[in-house]
Amino acid sequence: MSEKINLSLDQVYDLALLALTHNGMSAAHAAAIADVITQGQRDECNSHGLYRVLVCVRTLRSGKVSPDALPTVTQPAPAITRVDAHQAYSLLAFQTGLPSLIEQARQQGVAALVIRNCFHFSALWPEVEAIARHGLVGLAMTPSHAWVAPEGGHKGVFGTNPLAFAWPRPNPTEPFVFDFATSAIARGDIELHARQNKPIPLGWGVDTNGNPTTDARAVLEGAMQTFGGHKGSALAAMIELMAAALIGDMTSAESMAFDQGTGATPCHGELLLAFDPQRFLGDELALNQQRAETLFSAITDQGARLPSQRRFAARKRSERDGVWVDAALLRDIEQLLN
Ligand code: NDP
Ligand code: PYC
């Protein structure tokens, strides 16, 4: 077992913030990023927690990302809010566009938030959870880099293309949330296996010759596989269409070409949708919320778990006890402060 060190959530946030600002990021961007990194570490989503500080600083040092550009908002159609991140990270752009997304969804019933020209590293559940906290249903998707082969192929075409969904539930219950890559696993998880010299399960990817392998580094050089074969492959293609072609931003292949091998965070767009149940249902809202609760009970009453149940349990534990962070990762982050 690798050595672990206990940190409070405030310590996680402060470390992320310091590493980012020390490497030239503006206070506003660093705060937005440190907040989401802390949420990832808190919910024990290690591939999108403190590990991402390394990637963000590598991206800052590559000179590709703007450390301080402020997002600007336009409204190309009544239900569409567009935020241009101007080649900075996505999270400040999301924070900037969220109030308009919520307001438009309340007015029109359905609304979209389009984020363009952003460097994007983060898990999507913090964003759909933020939408659900306003009583709205949220859906989010984004491309990444063309690391994932289509079903039946062996060369990267798709990104790891996550899809996230949140359904608000009556307080004090947490929303129903799922958030998964359309690859068999997030690339970050394969990178963590490679860092720790651990084998990966078959089915996560193939080597450069297209052969299945349990060697994490061979998959990082070869191609990742989709989850659920042709089904994940089709969903990954949909995300390239919806969150790249439809919003006028880069596909995963284009983002990878733009990177020029620097290993920076992928640069592309993101699409978020919000639906207002009150607008869909009017005075039938309570009845239909109850029908949703019946569905959730049918899952949990037989011993199955809801997606995000593990994460919400981890959140409670971390808020009480702090988080256990890999000591080697902490050493690598501390190196970034020199
Ligand atoms: P996982 O396979 O770990 O989990 C996917 C989802 O399935 C989670 O909501 C999880 O809930 C749920 N789940 C897992 N096991 C069960 C189960 N037995 N029963 C019910 N639900 C279950 O995620 P991925 O590796 O695919 O993705 C990890 C993260 O990486 C995501 O947050 C994603 O947004 C992020 N990512 C970001 C990218 C980007 O470009 N920005 C690219 C790719 C991924 P729980 O969390 O509670 O286990
Ligand atoms: O883990 O696949 C991933 C990923 C790509 C971009 C950010 N996270």
Ligand that lies nearest to the alpha carbon of residue 141, given by its number in the listed order: 1
Edge to edge, the sheet with strand 267-275 lists 72-77, 80-89, 110-119, 267-275, 137-141, 162-167, 176-181
For residue 330, give the 3-state DSSP assignment: helix
CA of 140 to the centre of ligand 1 (A): 13
Q: In the structure, what pLDDT confidence band is assigned to residue 57 with cuts at 50, 70 and 90? A: very high
- 266 neighbors 89 (Cβ within 8 angstroms): no
Residues whose beta carbon lies within 6 Å of some atom of ligand 2 = 47, 121, 144, 160, 181, 186-188, 266
- In 3D space, the residue among 271, 298, 241 whose CA is nearest the CA of residue 90 turns out to be 271
Ligand 1 probe mutation, 39, 161, 180, most atoms within 8 A of CB: 180
pLDDT digits (tens, 9 = 90+) for 230-284: 999 999 999 999 999 999 999 999 999 999 999 999 999 999 999 999 999 999 9
Q: Which residues of 271-284 are buried (b: 16+ CB within 10 A; e: fewer)?
A: bbbbbbbeeeeeee
What atom of ligand 1 comes closest to residue 43's alpha carbon? 46
Which residue, judged by its Cα, is nearest atom 20 of ligand 1? Answer: 307
The model's pTM is 0.98
CA of 54 to the centre of ligand 2 (A): 13
Task: Write out the DSSP string of 14-30.
Answer: HHHHHHHHHTT--HHHH
CA of 55 to the centre of ligand 1 (A): 19
The token duo for 107 is: 């007015």
231 lines ligand 1 (CB under 6 A): no
pLDDT digits (tens, 9 = 90+) for 165-213: 999 998 778 999 999 999 999 999 999 999 999 999 999 999 999 999 9
What would the mean pLDDT of 215-244 be, rounded to a whole number? 98
305 lines ligand 1 (CB under 6 A): yes
Cα 316 to chain center, whole Å? 21
Which residue, judged by its Cα, is nearest atom 5 of ligand 1? Answer: 180
Calculate the average pLDDT of the chain: 97
The Cα 232–Cα 30 span in angstroms is 33
What atom of ligand 2 comes closest to residue 188's alpha carbon? 1
Which residue, judged by its Cα, is nearest atom 12 of ligand 1? Answer: 307
296 lines ligand 1 (CB under 6 A): no
Which residue, judged by its Cα, is nearest atom 46 of ligand 1? Answer: 308
What would the mean pLDDT of 31-53 be, rounded to a whole number? 97
CA of 27 to the centre of ligand 2 (A): 24
What would the mean pLDDT of 72-92 be, rounded to a whole number? 98
Q: In the structure, what pLDDT confidence band is assigned to residue 1 with cuts at 50, 70 and 90? A: low
Which residue, judged by its Cα, is nearest atom 8 of ligand 2? Answer: 121
Percent of the chain at pLDDT > 90 equals: 98
What atom of ligand 2 comes closest to residue 55's alpha carbon? 7
What are phi and psi for residue 325, nearest 5 degrees?
Answer: -115, 140
The Cα 244–Cα 76 span in angstroms is 17
- 209 neighbors 223 (Cβ within 8 angstroms): no
CA of 186 to the centre of ligand 1 (A): 8
Q: Nearest 10 degrees: CA dihedral of 231, 39, 52, 324?
A: -110
What would the mean pLDDT of 306-318 be, rounded to a whole number? 98
CA of 160 to the centre of ligand 2 (A): 6
Ligand that lies nearest to the alpha carbon of residue 235, given by its number in the listed order: 1
* CA 209 vs CA 154, 158, 214, 218: distances in Å: 8, 18, 14, 10
160 lines ligand 1 (CB under 6 A): yes
Q: In the structure, what pLDDT confidence band is assigned to residue 65 with cuts at 50, 70 and 90? A: very high
- In 3D space, the residue among 126, 164, 162 whose CA is nearest the CA of residue 38 turns out to be 126
Residues with active-site annotation: 47-48, 189
